[in-house]
Amino acid sequence: MSINKIAHIAIAVDNLAEQIRHYRDVLGLELVGEEVVEDQGVRVAFLKVGESTIELLEPLHDASPVAKFIAKRGQGIHHIAFDVDDLDESLQGLRQKEIRLIDENPRPGGHGCQIAFLHPKSTHGVLTELCSAGS
Ligand code: CMX
């Protein structure tokens, strides 16, 4: 597997507008987009940091994995995403290394890219996402 860069660092938040004000108006990052990812139950805001982004995740409803995360752990860093060239090949390599995959196959994520999550139980507590084509 070949990782190109950190695609994004995702932060679970309970009020997107309030957090955008912090990252954009206090820290001075550029807000590059907002979108709803229905199948993940989240509204997402993307802020540019060099070649990477900060991804703010606000749950749309209580069944969202991000709502469960905030209820259990509070707001904070939710996952790290690595950009890879070939997602299928990367997943195959991780399977061979007996890493537990949440997504056996790539699926659509934010920004029009393909994503797959690795289970935090097999990545030493850090929820890890791989993505290809964008971030
Ligand atoms: N980081 C680290 N550990 C996490 C975690 C996270 N973000 N989310 C959950 N866990 C831990 C839980 O604390 C729990 O640990 P313990 O058993 O020690 O208490 C364990 O993982 C299982 O958590 P759970 O919520 O009880 O179990 P679920 O199987 O329902 O969900 C997970 C866990 C990671 C599979 C689920 O949150 C998931 O599928 N996440 C990936 C999808 C996602 O987060 N999408 C939002 C982002 C959208 C995008 O970027 O496109």
Contact present, 132 and 114 (Cβ < 8 Å):
yes
The minimum-distance atom of ligand 1 relative to the CA of 110 is 51
Q: Break the chain into its structural domains and give their ranges.
A: 3-132
Give distance in angstroms: CA of 53 to centre of ligand 1.
21
Give distance in angstroms: CA of 78 to centre of ligand 1.
9
Task: Give me the phi and psi of 52, to 5 degrees please.
Answer: -120, 180
Give distance in angstroms: CA of 102 to centre of ligand 1.
9
Whether the pLDDT of residue 135 is over 70: the answer is no
Q: Is the pTM of this model over 0.85?
A: yes
The per-residue pLDDT for range 28-40, each reduced to its tens digit, is 999 999 999 888 8
- Residue 13 CB-half CA count within 13 A: 21
Residue 56: CB within 6 Å of ligand 1? no
What is the homologous superfamily of the domain 3-132 according to CATH?
2,3-Dihydroxybiphenyl 1,2-Dioxygenase, domain 1 (3.10.180.10)
Average pLDDT over residues 36-51: 93
Confidence (pLDDT) at 1: 85
- Where does the pLDDT of residue 134 fall: very low under 50, low under 70, confident under 90, or very high at 90 and above? very low
Please report the beta strands in the chain, taking only residues with DSSP state E, as ranges in sequence order.
3-12, 30-37, 42-49, 52-59, 76-84, 107-108, 114-118, 128-132
Average pLDDT over residues 21-34: 97
Give distance in angstroms: CA of 65 to centre of ligand 1.
6
Residue 41: CB within 6 Å of ligand 1? no
The minimum-distance atom of ligand 1 relative to the CA of 129 is 50
